[in-house]
Structure 1
Amino acid sequence: MKRTILFLILTSFLFVNACGLKGSSENEKLRAEVIAVHDEVMPKMGQLKSLERKALERAQELESEDTIDSAKVEEYKSLAYDLNHANEAMFEWMHQYEKEDGDKSEEELKQYLDGQMLQITKVNVEMKAALDNAKKALK
């Protein structure tokens, strides 16, 4: 009798833990992946601002010349805009990102994190593209 009760308690405990942790561990893994995408480009935010300043300086230098190459001025201003936009996109994402799960169910949390993965991936791609374009243009 004791063995049967012990067996049932142990089986119930294992079943509850296995089912409860499955969603939780999947969401923890997904949250870690979201943060990893963020962490990949977060350290490059300083580069964004530095290159934005360089692009604006180049535009101002060209504007002060006797013969203004307005296409080149616009190119540098556009580059500066893209760099600033990528920087702002990261700030916006960080501001709205919820670090805590709150009262969300496992499914709601998964949907939230899936959406966050899409958003931060878009920010990641935008930042990398802006940095690549700036490095090419500001050689």
Structure 2
Amino acid sequence: MKSSFIYSALLLLLVCTSCNQLSKEEQEFDILMQKIIDVHDEVMPKMGEMSSLIKELETKVDTTAQGQSYAKAQQDVKDAYDFMMSWMSEFSDTFPHQEEDQKVDKEKMSSQMKLLQEEEVKVNKLKDQINASIENAKQILKKS
């Protein structure tokens, strides 16, 4: 009698704890989502620097060859800035905040995972574009 009670209690405990655990797919989704958010958090602070570079380059743009290199660098920084803004908007539309207790069915989880994998590619491209445009702008400004 006592052992059947213990087994029943253990079974109930096992069932209750397994309900709170994430599936493997949910765990993979959460890990990938965190990687994407980490990249965003890495490049987001650079937006202010990009705005400053755009303004600084603007003062040097003219019709000379050197002035045109400033214009090109400025456009590259603007493009990276705009890419960041549009990526953030599209990402939040595709992955709106969900409450923790909302469950996603397996089929939707699979399609969301594919979309998230595409977003990982985009956000890494975004990071590379931001870093390259900032580095290029700084190099061009050093030459002046």
- TM-score bracket, normalised by the shorter chain, equals 0.7 to 0.9
1:114 corresponds in structure 2 to 117
Structure 1 Cα separation of the partners of residues 12 and 110 of structure 2 = 27
Partner of 2:59: 57
Partner secondary structure for residue 97 of structure 2: coil
How far apart are residue 53 of structure 1 and its match?
1.3
* Alignment partner, residue 48 of structure 2: 46
Q: Distance in 2 between matches of 1:34 and 1:17?
A: 25
The gaps in structure 1 that reach 5 residues or longer are 64-68
Deviations 1:87-131 (A, max 9, x none): 000000011112435867221221121111111111110000000
Distance 1:99 1:120 in 2: 17
- Counterpart secondary structure, 1:58: coil
CA RMSD, Structure 1 to Structure 2 (Å):
2.3
Which of 66, 85, 90 aligns to 1:91? It is 85
Higher alpha-carbon deviation: 36-45 or 8-17: 8-17
2: CA distance, partners of 1:79 / 1:49: 13
TM-score normalized by structure 1? 0.78
| Amino acid paired to 2:48 | G
In the alignment, which residue of structure 1 is the partner of 2:25? 23
Shift of 1:83: 0.5
Which residue pairs with 1:33 in the alignment? 35
1:131 aligns with 2:134: yes
| Counterpart-to-counterpart distance in 2, 1:99 and 1:39 | 17
> In the alignment, which of 96, 100, 104 is matched to residue 97 of structure 2?
100
Cα distance in 2 for partners of 1:45, 1:118 equals 20
Using the alignment, how far apart are the partners of 1:83 and 1:49 within structure 2? 8
Runs of 4+ deviating beyond 6 Å: none
- How many Å apart are 1:3 and its aligned residue? 6.2
